[in-house]
Every structure is written in structure tokens, then in C-alpha cells.
Structure 1
Amino acid sequence: MATTQLSDVFVADYYAALDPVNSPEKTAVYDSGIVTRSPVLDAVASNGQGTAEVAYWQDLDADEAPNISNDDPDDLGEVGKAAQGSMRARTLFLNKGYGVADLTAELANSEPMQHIRNRFGTYWTRQWQRYLLGAARGIIASNIANNDGDMVIDAGATISAGAFQDAAFTAGDAADQFGAIGVHSVVMNQMVKQDLIEYLRDSEGKIILATYLGKPVFMDDGLTYSAGQYLSVFFGQGAFGYGVGTPHTPEELQRKPDGGNGGGAEVLWERKTYILQPAGFSWAGSNTLNQSPSATQYAAAANWTRVFDRKQVPFAAVISGTATAP
């Protein structure tokens, strides 16, 4: 079991407070506002079943023409019906513990456990970002495999304005639903060189937001599709819904008096029950209760099935770059 040891901290004659060394991993896409909490998914996350069917009402079929009124009492008008559909949501049951030996804290003259407490929230946000990017790759791969790639444009080696516009218009007249774009830094660099990016600045001239066609552009190096390929994704409002359940014991401090060869140790555990559901797609993977999928499994095409019409799905994507052999 991994634990914080003497080798993990700086030990010198004089000790000072240790500032945390934060990971460079960003969570720009997850923090961009495309993830919306859903009371329905909260309820699913709390039911303890692992997976659940989430029902929704289909829109009324506009292809059914209205009846033409007349004065014949025996001429009965045709009656349409409202239909329901469903999608399957998968609950994630996750946990993580970080350990500290008492001697480590004593010699470091600081509180590594406090540092762990302070950073746990960021740790989980980074996990949700990885699941989100995994789901984005998974639903795009599913779309290519099962829906003739009607949400995806292959831009070839280098991104272009035409590829972005073609991707948005895979949604036809619903192309205006997209409110944000996530790109890899390599793609952002190409966009900057092609003068595709505009910047919003504050009163002091500092850049506060990069935009393309008036849409915020968020840069995150997690947006890869495969080796050598980058995934640029258009997101609509509510592209992902999330729900939160309540684990039986959400936080727990485990005391290990025999840890550190009797010097003492403790482990801080956090447990999460969480759902992250891409709009318009149903989970088609394993339903085994005690084997929650990993972020890598979220990226598998076979684990997602689209259940909405193309125009109702708030995703579009551009794949660029040149795939390299593994």
C-alpha cells in the first residue's frame, strides 16, 4: 500500500512550512459549465442499484399532420400518442485513501495529513475530468461505429476552420446549440497560427477568455483520441448530467498503531458515489454492482449507445492529427 514516507518530504536542519506542489493537470473542460447536476441522477445514485433506467418523454411527432376539421360527426380524427424512451445510467462507487506515518509528520515539522485533506477535493475533480474525457472519447467512438460518424469530422493532419464549421453543422439547424469547445494545446496552437482565435480582455487589457466564432474555447491536454490524434469537442448546454449519492461512510480516518513498525500511522479515506451521464447516450457496458467502470472503460465504444436523434445530442467532434501505430 502506498503511503507518505520520509523520502516524500524534504528534511533539513531547519524546517519551514511546506507549500504544496500542485500537479500541472488541468480540469478546464470539467470546470467549463457543461456539467449540470440533475435531481433525477441524484436519485439514481442514491438507489444503490449500480445501474438504472432513466425514462424521458419523446417530443410529439411533427411529421404527423394535423386533422382537417369537417362537419361529419362520424369522421373520427386520428389521435397521436406521447411515447417514452429510456437511457441507462451507470453509478460509480469509488474510494481513495492516503496514508501518513507519524514519524514523517514529526520529522517534516508540518502536517502532511492536513495537506492531504486540503487537496482531496482537487483530486476528485481531476478524476471526474478523466471520466468526462473518457466518456467523450467513448461516445465519439460509438458514434463512428454505430451511427456512421454523423457527429464527427475527420480534419486530417491539421485542424481548419472548415472542419470546425462542418462539425457544428452535423447537427443541421440545431448547430446553434453548441456553447463551448474543448481542444488540445496542439490544436489551440494551430488555431492561433491560423488566426481563428479571438480574445476577450478586461479593462486592463488582460486576456480573460479565448473564443472561436463567439464560443469559449477551453484548452486541455486530456483531449486526445488515440496516439497522435487529437479530439476537439463541441459541447451544448447540459452536455453532461451528474448525480451524487451518499456512501455509507463518506470519510473515515483509519488509525494504525502498528504502522511505521510501531511508530504509528493513519490513513484518510474518502468514498464517492457518483454518476456522470452524457446527454443522449445510454450506458451499454457491464452492470456488475461491485465492479464500477474505470475512466478507460468509459472510453470504450461498446459501452455506449445513442438513444436521441442526432439533432438532440449536444456533441460534435473534430478528429485531427495522424494516428501512430501502438
Structure 2
Amino acid sequence: MATTRLSDVIYGPLFLPTTIQRIAQLSRIRNSPIVTADAEIQRFANGPGDLVQMPFWNDLTGNSNVSTDDPAQNATPHKLTQGQDMARKIRRNNGWQSANLVASMLAEDPLDAVATLIAEYWVREEQRIMGQQMAGIFASSGMAGNKLDVASEDGAVTPVMLDAEVAANAYALLGEYGQTLSAVLMHSRVFYNLRAARAIEKFKDPATGLDFDMWDDKVVYVSDQCPRVAGSTSGFKYTSYLFGNGALAYAEATGGGGPKKPVEIDSVASAGNGEGVETVWYRRHWVMHPRGVAFTGTPASASGVTDTELATGTNWTRVYDPKTVRIVAVTTNG
């Protein structure tokens, strides 16, 4: 029987769209209402360079005028003003050699198996990088009004847990907009504590048939990328993130704004003492950006923004009113 090789599986016209589809299908966060994609962001993402500029109109302000019948009284109109949100494209790649994928290539459908394996990696990577962004924006001074830290420093002795009262105080940070928060991303320890308290409910989406966990009418996403920090004396402090619909903008860069060769096979004939080794390289450029907090830092390298730069607070500037940035961070002991 002939041996299936990477070059047999990684056939560009078939493999690339298959993998892109798998990434989209497997990402629970990207399939949630907290992530939105629109034509304008996609257009920017598909353009050259790595800076994505997103102008917006500021809200109208000022009290209304009291109408009179005096022709000598002239009202002064208010100006329409614009602001600008900014994001950086995330440019990443990774490669896998044939030995890493051998089990997948023995599957009944090696194209689907390899595409799914690589897609699972990129879903985890997207979530990890989003964690770096959250760390960065909440280290920014402009986001102080969107943070609630009620954790005890001696958390093992007097723990403050995530509960309905803490949640209400977190929602209140956004005032009337607190009612728009619809999802929560939390560490697994926080999730299991809530489940032990029987605060987690199951919900089946009638449109997709997928099962979701719900807490306090919020869809729950669990990731150990959420911060877990040791207290000063004992225990740990955990940060959970609350999101409103459309809090994150997303676009996969294609065309001139995407990688020149998204998928490439590298074959080294001399490797393995002449047996040969094949490596598949997968490259992606994408935008996943917290709306209303502009990335105003300048990356050290023109090739792209790093994890460290994403996690640095001074690289982020809030450009929306704090209450309309639809993200809140709440820190508890579990």
C-alpha cells in the first residue's frame, strides 16, 4: 500500500479552505455574539500593512434647547465629532513535521484529520493571544473604571468568591449598559466553584443544537488563560472577564493583507540521513480587537506585534466612553 505523505494531503486549493472552515467551526468564542465581523473591518484587514484604523462617530451630547417663539433667540448647534479606534494585525505561523502528523495521515480522510488537528491548535492560540490582549487593556490606566477587584490577599483564609452580589457590582461599573453584558470568560477553578454551588445551568441553542453553560443569564466560556495570581499570604486571585455583544471585532486577513503563502510544504531530502523529512508551514494574519480600546503602541518589529507588546498596558488607549467599552474585569478568590 502506498504511503500517504504531507505533500499528498496539503493540496492548497483543498487544504486551506478546509482548515479555515475548521478553525471557524471549532472556536466557541468566535461563534458567540461577543465577536462580530463587519465588511469595514474586513476591508481594513485585507489591506496592506498591519495597522487597522477604525474611525467612529462620538455620541451626541448636551441638553436639548427650550423652544420659544422669540425670533431674536438663536440656538447654537453642536458639532459632530469623530474618534479613532486602532488595532494591529496579529501575524503568526507554525510548522509541523510529518512525524507529528503521522497518525492523522493514517486516518480514513487524512485531509480532514490534518486540517482539524491544525485548526484545534489555532483555536487554542487565538484564545491564548486574546488573554494577552485582556491583560494589556486592563493594565491600561484608562480602563480603571472597568475593573472590580474584591479578592482578598489572604484568599485561603477569607476568600471572596464570584457570586450574584459581586456580579451585580461588576455590572454596575457600566451603569445602564451593564444590562448588555451577555457572556463571561472565567478560569476553570472559578467555573467548578460555581458548579459546586449549583449556579451553573445548561442551555441548548435551538439554532445550532450546541449545549452551553449559563451563569447569571450569561453564556460561560472557560479558559485557564484567565489570570491566576498568588495572594500575598495565601490562596490565589482569579480574574474573570464579562463581555457584551460585539465587544470584540474579528477579521481574517486575506488578499494583500494576508500572508503571501498561507500554506507551504518544506521538504528536506537529506534529513533523516537521506530518508527525507516534510514540514507543513501554516501562516495566518488576523484581527481580534477589543472595541473601544485602541492599540496605540508601536511594535518594535515591523513584522508584527508580540505577546509582550499586547500585554503591555501603555500600548493601549481607551477611546470610547468607559461605559460603552463592553468589557469588565472582575477579580475574586475563586
State TM-score, norm by structure 1.
Answer: 0.77
- The CA distance in 2 between the partners of 1:131 and 1:165, in whole Å, is 28
Residue in 2 aligned with 1:82?
A: 80
Q: Name the structure 2 match of 1:70.
A: 69
Distance 2:281 2:104 in 1: 22
Provide the C-alpha distance between the structure 2 equivalents of 1:27 and 1:45, rounded to a whole number of angstroms. Answer: 20
Deviation at 1:191, TM superposition (A): 2.1
Q: Give the Cα–Cα distance (whole angstroms) in 2 for the partners of residues 199 and 108 of structure 1.
A: 33
* Other-structure match for 1:139: 137
Q: Which residue of 2 aligns with 1:197?
A: 200
Shift of 1:281: 0.5
> For residue 215 of structure 1, what is the aligned residue in structure 2?
218
Residues 1:269 and 2:281 aligned together: yes
Contact 2:299 2:305 in 1 (8 A): no
TM-superposed CA distance for 1:38, in Å, is 2.8
TM-score by length of structure 2 reads: 0.76
Q: How far apart, CA to CA, are the structure 2 residues paired with 1:69 and 1:173?
A: 33
Letter paired with 2:251: G
**Shift in CA distance, 146/68, structure 1 to aligned 2, threshold 3 Å:** same
CA distance in structure 1 between the aligned counterparts of 2:333 and 2:319, rounded to whole angstroms: 29
Query: Which residue in 1 is equivalent to 2:126?
Result: 128
User: Aligned residues, how many?
Assistant: 287
**Cα deviations across residues 108-139 of structure 1 (Å, max 9, x unaligned)?**
9947x855444111211111111112212222
Indicate conservation of the 8 Å contact 1:139/1:299, yes or no. yes
Hey, what does 2:311 align to over in structure 1? 299
Contact preservation (8 Å) 2:171, 2:181 = yes
* CA RMSD, Structure 1 to Structure 2 (Å): 3.1
1:154–1:101 CA distance, 2 compared to 1 (3 A): closer
Q: What is the distance in 1 between the residues matched to 2:228 and 2:132?
A: 9
Gaps of 5+ in 1: 1-25
Residue 292 of structure 1 and its aligned partner are, at CA, apart by 1.9
- 2:314, 2:227 → 1: CA distance? 19
Q: Deviations over 1:38-85 (max 9, x none)?
A: 322222222222213321111211x2432524241x533211111100
Q: State the distance in 2 between where 1:295 and 1:165 align.
A: 32
Structure 1 residues 290 and 320, CA gap change in structure 2 (3 angstroms): same
How far the C-alpha of 1:219 sits from its partner, in A, is 2.2
Aligned 1:284-323 pairs, distance under 5 A: 284-288=296-300, 290-321=302-333
Separation of aligned partners in 2, 1:261 and 1:66 = 84
Kept in 1: contact 2:262–2:284 (CA 8 A): yes
5+ residue gaps in structure 2? 1-25, 152-158, 231-235
